[in-house]
Amino acid sequence: MLRLQGRARGYEWGGNGTIPALFGYSPAEMRVAELWFGAHPDDPAIVGATADAPLFDPAQFYPGSPGEDHRLKSMRRGRRRRATHLPAPTEDLRAYIARQPRQALGDSIAEHDGELPYLLKVIAPECPLSLQVHPSREQAREGFAREDAAGIARDSAVRNYRDRNHKPELAYALEPFEAIAGFRTTRRIEGVLGGLDTKLTNELLSYIEQGISALFSRLLAAETRPTGEEISEVVEACGERLSRGLSPSPRADRIVTILARQYPNDPGVVASLLLNPVSLRPGEAVFIPAGTVHAYLSGTAVEIMASSDNVLRAGLTHKHVDVPELLRVMDTSAAPPIRIAPERMSEAVSTFYAPVDDFELSTLHLRDATAIEVLRARGPRTVVCLEGAAELITASDHEMLNTGQAMFVPDSDGQLAIRGFGELIVASVP
């Protein structure tokens, strides 16, 4: 087993305190939007962290602290362990797997593609993420090759395809989590747009018979996108019918007003009316297939996905937007959000099975510190302790994992058992 130190990502939609507070740290001086625990080339986790190391390297997010020991003591609010030096980042998880793929991944995965199939994250949007879609594997391979041939650098801000992989994903709510995902039915769209009686929504209603692609293209394409005044008129109409108790979808109208505060002239504000609102309570999960238009709005969640960073954005962002490419790859089928119910493996263990071969996610709610839970999953596993403490046990090793610590368990370690008291998540492969 190898202790992991995750990699924090400071996107503009993140906050200073949510993720640090989740693991008992004081608010950061910079935004912490996501923590990555994977082997994706953009930001692979560090292996071989010490038992006293924080969940992520604080140097980037606590730059004002005068020294390592002081910085760690200030971060470890209420913790009893003595702060020690940070681990030297001598190797990352991607390099470790490349050195010994069969040991790390198992024969089947090593022979298939030789890389960790999943990327595990903790995500905490304090304001809405971009309206986006992820490509299928075939679309990603074609797009990656096309942008390489065009000479677009792989770290360029205008690049869509940063790798060759698809990106289906599952979000498991740790706190109430809000999103929009997938298109409503035509009749439902008519009901949501009807009654607003604005120039823009009346025109959109006239496009209904042409299909979802026509509606979305009318809103987002550069040559037809609405003016700021037209968008404002829709926002005001949504607010008016909401205040009068006349809304056919109160959540949809509330989402419009929230998005308009953050992106007042963005057509994605109006496009949100075409999508299904999603509200997750803690412990619930939603699956986002490749091709599904979606945006995460607020909350805290564990996110697991195929190991990819391919994102095609349509709006609600200051990053690169490529509407034609998004329209090309998006799925226009009307479908409700795909909520995944877990299978109860025992009193303490539940597993969420997504309809893909790249990942599955197990949650452990340990309430009897003397009971040993033997996990079914084999192959490469990533364990994160969200709360409490647990002992990880294999045939040849055992390690303690406390709140805010993570572990990579290679295939060669064999069966994994866990005992303790607290909350853990385990990422694995079917």
Give per-residue pLDDT as tens, 297-350.
999 999 999 999 999 998 899 888 999 999 999 999 998 899 999 999 999 999
> Is 169 part of any known ligand binding site?
yes
Residue 164 lies in a domain: yes
Q: What is the per-residue pLDDT for 82?
A: 30
CATH number of the domain that 355 lies in?
Answer: 2.60.120.10
Q: Is the pLDDT of residue 376 over 50?
A: yes
Residue of higher predicted confidence among 54 and 406: 406
Same domain membership, residue 237 and residue 264: yes
pLDDT digits (tens, 9 = 90+) for 268-300: 999 999 999 999 999 999 999 999 999 999 999
**In what order do the strands lie in the sheet containing 312-315?**
275-280, 177-183, 294-298, 131-133, 312-315
Residue 3 domain flag? no
Residues 351 and 326 occupy one common structural domain: no
Q: How far apart are CA 340 and CA 397, in angstroms?
A: 33
In a domain, 132, yes or no: yes
Last residue of a domain, one of 340, 356, 377: 340
Residue 99 lies in a domain: no
pTM of the model: 0.91
- Catalytic residue (choose from 76, 313, 381, 419): 313
Domain count across the chain: 2
Residue 192 and residue 331 in one domain = yes
Task: State yes or no: 294 annotated in a binding site.
Answer: yes
Residue 87 DSSP code: P
* Cα separation, 48 vs 42, whole angstroms: 19
Cα–Cα distances in Å, from 286 out to 64, 181, 231, 301, 348?
38, 9, 29, 11, 21
One domain, residues 172 and 141: yes
Condensed to tens digits (0 to 9), the pLDDT of residues 158-189 reads 999 999 999 999 999 999 999 999 999 999 99
For residue 132, list its beta bridge partners. 294, 313
| Cα gap 12→17, rounded to integer Å | 13
Does 365 show up as a binding residue in the annotation? no
CB 39 within 8 A of CB 400: no
Residues 347, 321 within the same domain = no
Token digits of residue 102:
């069969």
Answer whether residue 34 is part of any domain.
Answer: no
Mean of per-residue pLDDT scores for the chain: 89
Among this protein's residues, is 79 annotated catalytic? no
Whether residues 161 and 263 fall in one domain: yes
Q: Which of 340, 366, 384 is the last residue of a domain?
A: 340
Q: What is the pLDDT of residues 69-81, one digit of tens each?
A: 333 333 343 333 3
Judge if 335 and 353 occupy the same domain.
no
Q: Which domain holds residue 158?
A: 123-340
Q: Same domain for 157 and 146?
A: yes
Rounded to 5 degrees, what angle do the CA atoms 99, 36, 374 make?
Answer: 75
| 188 three-state secondary structure | helix
Q: How high is the pLDDT of residue 61?
A: 67
Q: At what angle do helices 212-220 and 199-206 cross, to 10 degrees?
A: 150
How many Cβ atoms from other residues are within 10 Å of residue 174's Cβ? 22
Q: Report the range out of 28-37, 90-99, 109-118, 358-367 with the highest average pLDDT.
A: 358-367
Does 213 map to a domain?
A: yes
318 is in an annotated binding site: no
Which residue, 308, 340, 372, sits at the end of a domain?
Answer: 340
Q: Does the residue 86 lie in any domain?
A: no
pLDDT recorded at residue 78? 37
Domain membership of residue 62 (yes or no) is no
pLDDT value at position 36? Answer: 94
pLDDT score recorded for residue 389: 95
Instruction: Kindly state whether residues 330 and 353 are assigned to the same domain.
Output: no
Do 266 and 356 belong to one domain?
A: no
Query: What would the two tokens of residue 288 be?
Result: 């986002």
> Do 192 and 247 have their domain in common?
yes
Q: Are 182 and 245 part of one and the same domain?
A: yes
List the structure tokens of 76.
């470890």
Find the CATH number of the domain harbouring 210. Answer: 2.60.120
